Amino acid sequence: NAGVTQTPKFQVLKTGQSMTLQCAQDMNHEYMSWYRQDPGMGLRLIHYSVGAGITDQGEVPNGYNVSRSTTEDFPLRLLSAAPSQTSVYFCASRRQDRTDTQYFGPGTRLTVL
């Protein structure tokens, strides 16, 4: 199993540009989520999904869109990038029960100029 994969690893955008961060998992996990990690603010939940076709907002959803058309993929779209979105983005997945651990991807480091 590859686990949770994310692309790209690094990205530089200009203010106002849009882009999609890719996330995929091959563990047949129902639950997938996106976090951003900023110094001094820990990990904050952006959006999550409990299965294909179902998504919901987390703590900091503004400026981001998600969709879940398949169990495996959960892309995160930045609609119009802003410098405040400079961060490290992590995708995670787990089964929909209390016994399973959460598995994280390696992260995407995004800089918005």
Q: Which member of 12, 41, 79, 113 binds another protein (CB under 8 A)?
A: 41
Q: How far is the CB of 27 from another protein (least distance, A)?
A: 13
Q: Is the CB of residue 6 less than 8 Å from the CB of residue 73?
A: no
Q: Which is nearer to another protein, 9 or 14 (CB)?
A: 9
Q: For residues 16 and 49, which CB has a smaller minimum distance to another protein in the complex? A: 49
Asked if 34 touches another protein (CB under 8 A), the answer is no
CA distance 62 to 103: 24
Give the footprint of another protein on residues 48-77 (CB under 8 A): 48, 50, 58
Three-state DSSP class for 55? strand
Give the pairing of strands 19-25 and 64-66.
Answer: unpaired
Structure tokens at 105: 């991807």
Task: Count how many residues are written for the chain.
Answer: 113
Q: Applying CB under 8 A, does 17 fall inside the site for another protein? A: no
d(Cα 30, Cα 107) in Å, to the nearest integer? 20
Residues engaged in binding another protein (CB under 8 A): 4, 31, 33, 35, 40-43, 45, 48, 50, 58, 90, 92, 98-107
